[in-house]
Chains A and B, each alone.
Chain A
Amino acid sequence: MSELIFAIELAYWQQTLIKVLVAAVLIPTTALILGIVFLFKMMSWMQSRMGPQEAGPRGLLQLAADGLKFLQKEDIIPDRADRFVFKAAPVVVLASTFLTYVILPAGPDLIIENLPTGIFFAMAVSSLSVVGVLMAGWSSSNKYALMGGLRAGGQLIAYELPLILAVMGVVIQAGSLSMQDIVWAQADGSMFGFGGLGLPFVITQIVAFFIFMVAIQAELTQPPFDMPVAESEVVGGFHVEYTGFRFLFFFLGEFATAFAFAAIAATLFLGGWWVPGIDPNSALANIVGPIALFVKIMVVAFLIFWFRFTYPRFREDQLQRFAWKYLIPLALANITITGILVVVL
């Protein structure tokens, strides 16, 4: 499918070049969009503040200005830090984000690589970021960073399992691991025999959607699961010793990952790039698709950040209890019921 982009024949190296450029531009842009729209503007409005006003129209360039500021900062590496690991950690975190973008479909032909095991790949590479976090925590030679890194490691065990189990429900219903096939399955589906609207899996997999949203909150280390970076406890956790460009990497990684996970949620549960009424085989779907996906991502991201600004923080052991006692049994029950119904119906 991806050999054809708008029916233009391209050589393999040309395709690769375009894909790399798109990814390199896309990832910082998405992080900026989420940062400005939600972290700066929506958060301010929810907290009865004005938010940034001065930089650019309505303060929209504030985050770009902050990014430039980070580039000017001195690059400090602590004396006793493990220098190689310390430098490598932000790259590992950002690499996991980049790899997640590989399988995100934005249209019938707009996908960097349509892997047959797409969602499995996404789950696998996204947990790679925890390795980077552990590296950062350990190599900083800072007690707070170490605690934050280890908390992140412990958190991984708690949320990764419900996350994958929640995805399993969708995979069973779609009958495929490929992201494109999951979108097609939702486009082809029918609600009570009426096929015009398709069948977004959020309707049948509402439990899985709930579990997925809770789990990505923990994956992104956002409140109520932000123990690894809790400011009032471990003072920023694993990135406490990072300055300037390296800190910017962590920041970009956090928000680009938020965007990627919102995109995965939109694809799995809200139908991805597909819009009712537009023929998914037409060239128009390649133009409308990205816009539809963006709108759906923003809806999901709004939910993510809404939780972030509302809830206080769990304790690490409470998260473990919550995950093992409630989320995982719920996800297993969801898989069982979905499996039975798919076989019976």
Chain B
Amino acid sequence: MTVTDSQKMAYVAAQAADARVNLQFETEDGMTLNMGPQHPATHGTLRIVAQLDGEQVVRCEPIPGYMHRGYEKLCEVRTYPQVTTLINRIDWLGSFANEVPFILAAEKLMDVEAPPRAQVIRTILFELSRLGNISLFLGDLGIQLGGITIGFYAFRDREFVLNQIEAATGGRFHPNFDRIGGLKDDLPKGWIAETHRAMDRMRRLCDEFEELVLGNEIFQARTRGIGVIPADIATSYGMSGANLRATGVDWDLRRDACPPGLSYDLADWKVWTHPDGDSYARTWVRLQEVRESTHIVDQLLDSIPAGPIMAKVPRIIKVPEGEAWVATENPLGEMGYYVVSKGDLVPFRVKIRSASFNNISVVPWVTRGVFVPDVITIMASLYFILGDIDR
């Protein structure tokens, strides 16, 4: 088998790109440390190239792309119902939340609206995936900082949330449950009471986290004043979600720009912000968010209206010509889909805006002059999912 010229060129280009990154950081005094693609702190295949002076970071750059799966392109050859299977895998810890903005965008183009019952259940599942995602952050932060016990507590209690997602949708990790015009199925029997109990477990996990980690002097010494991101820097880098709220910006898409199809207005809840903008603030805001989510779920569970769970939608879905942009407040931050349709079975173009890519783009700015352990703290507290960076 002969190697074609284009393959040769691609190989040379890849080698050159790699060499450039390495060369940029090689200096006479100092050391270049490649953290990753396989490193315990990157939970995935993120590569962090850091130029060090002793233990101090002179320059640090995250290099994503080792797990790029080309979902935007793949979406163009999948029919609309098939797309949800793909985009489930973007933020794999809060999978259901990935489906919702795409489905909402398709609903917007088709001009259908899910019945009220489906909307409420959709919102509940959306919040459950947020709990499943952020509770793992609480554990992971402990593991990254050396206190592994809280990690196991988080895994233990997250199981109750995953069980509820599984009971309702059939999938623990990748529910693939949201449909254009409603949901695939109704809730199983006894699910509401069980979910209330799971919410109690989550609240107890929050209390445990507060006692074991957040109140710990060592934890505070490691996180307070580390990785401070001011509000203007955060907004100029396009950060969103809890990372943005930890800088004091009071912005939550669930409250400020909730797209039709989600019923957050039925619940009484609060958006938490923290003025500091450091790693501690990001942790604190996420902890409060978990608590707030459990309250949202508790209230919505008691106010599920009766009725159908599916609107009248044709069996073969053809989306009329047009363009739509829908963004929701996902566990990691703002996630949006820009869907362009040419009136076909498949989308003409899908642009995915995922939160983690913007959130970690601030890393070179925020890691200048910190120590190597602080890089770990900052990366852990910025909280990225690699699938959400690379798509």
| A→B interface (CB under 8 Å) | 46-49, 143-144, 147, 223-224, 226-227, 230-235, 309-318
Contacts and interface: CB of A to CB of B under 8 A. Distances in A.
Contacts of A147: 33, 55, 372
B222 to A, nearest CB: 6
A47 B152 contact: yes
B153 A312 contact: no
A235 B55 CA distance: 15
Contact of A311 (B41, B55, B153, B216): B216
Given A47-B152, A143-B33, A232-B40, A314 B371 contact: no
Interface in B211-257: 212-213, 216, 218-219, 221-222
Interface stretch (B105-113, B139-147, B196-204): B139-147
Contacts of A233: 41, 372-373, 376
B39 interface: yes
A313 B147 contact: yes
A316 B221 CA distance: 12
B43 to A, nearest CB: 10
16 contacts: A48-B152, A223-B147, A231-B40, A232-B146, A311-B146, A311-B216, A312-B213, A312-B216, A312-B219, A312-B222, A313-B146, A313-B218, A313-B222, A315-B374, A316-B373, A317-B371
B221 A314 contact: yes
B148 interface: yes
Contacts of A317: 371
Contacts of B373: 227, 230, 233, 313, 315-316
Interface of B: 31, 33, 39-41, 55, 142-149, 152-153, 156, 212-213, 216, 218-219, 221-222, 371-374, 376, 380
A48 B156 contact: yes
Contacts of A235: 39-40
A97 B55 CA distance: 30
Contacts of B380: 232
Interface of B is mostly: helix
B51 to A, nearest CB: 12
B218 A224 contact: yes
A309 B148 CA distance: 7
Contact of B147 (A227, A312, A318): A312
Pick the most buried of A143, A230, A232, A314: most chain B CB atoms within 10 A of its CB: A232
Given A47-B152, A232-B376, A233-B376, A312 B55 contact: no
A249 to B, nearest CB: 23
A49 B156 CA distance: 9
B376 to A, nearest CB: 5
Nearest to A46: B149
B369 to A, nearest CB: 13
Nearest to A236: B40
B149 A310 contact: yes
Contacts of A47: 148-149, 152-153
B163 to A, nearest CB: 16
Which 8 residue pairs across A and B have the least CB separation, nearest first? A313-B146, A312-B147, A47-B152, A312-B145, A232-B41, A232-B144, A312-B146, A223-B146
